[in-house]
Structure 1
Amino acid sequence: MAKHLVEEIKQTKPFERPSDEALLSIVRTASVLEHATNELLRPFGLTTTQYNVLRILRGAGAAGLCGKEIGERMVSRVPDVSRLLDRMESMELIGKERDATDRRHITARLTLKGRRLLEEATTPEFIAFGRDRMARLSARTIEAVNEALAVIRETP
């Protein structure tokens, strides 16, 4: 049986409300998953954020996307998408091109090197990582979790 957060973080007093524990449990779970994902990507020289950008640009196809569009599609928000894209360009994972009519508009596209690294990093272990964690939950529970998390994200 899974431990409650109170036990896991060795909290001496119970939470005042179940909703307090639920919120902290979401934060803790996200942190644990991100850390484990970063460990899986580390051998490839990638972070989860960079991996996410590569997936987004692969999905965009040859048209690419501007930084604002990439930022809107990111799983985890980053404060400076431009700097992230600059780093990824210096790694030759993406290419950037200025619009001829509007110099402020820059389109990012996945390079061949970026596409290959994305394919290489998406190992069977990486794929199994997420699936294994969800395998103990029923389809109904997964649906309920997705619905609950959507409500939490949409609440102002």
Structure 2
Amino acid sequence: MEDVFSLVVSKLVSLGFFNFLTFILALTLVYALLKQRKIFGENPIINGLIAFSIAFFVLAYPIISGMNLTPQFSAFFSQAFVLILIFFVGFLMASFFYPDIPKMVGEFFKSRSTLFGVLALSLVLFISSGLVGIIYNSLVSSQQQGRPSPPTEITLLFAGLIIAIVVLLISSSVSRGG
């Protein structure tokens, strides 16, 4: 017999909820990078529109390419959580033996060998989660022919939604004097 959580997750998968989480993750990360680096200035509306556009491309990728990103992202974040938990418990245990653990950890992370170790660990995590397969398959495989196109109503609905959001963002920017 399945438990309640398995049923809920199965229902969310069938609704495409986790593809939407990929959209939200891409939107948040791109917006944070644009806001921090100020590539397009300090206007949050422009940064939001660019992040929103890029996130829609990420949302469309599984449909266009025919590859689902959800299993790989799930494996990546699960493995990353386990690694973070191991480091957290290790630092907690080390704090029992070293009086000034924040200073020691700060000095440890300043070394070049630690940087290379973190990069190697990130690469192993990237490969073991299957994310490298997405990049490889997208480079190797060609576009599949003969796939049916989405209904016109759905395409028009999404186009109208995007246009409405852009108009709302621009009108709120103009009303604030930005």
Alignment TM-score > 0.5, same fold: no
Structure (1 or 2) with the greater helix fraction: 2
Q: TM-score, normalised by structure 1?
A: 0.28
Larger Rg computed on CA atoms: 2
Structure (1 or 2) with the greater strand fraction: 1
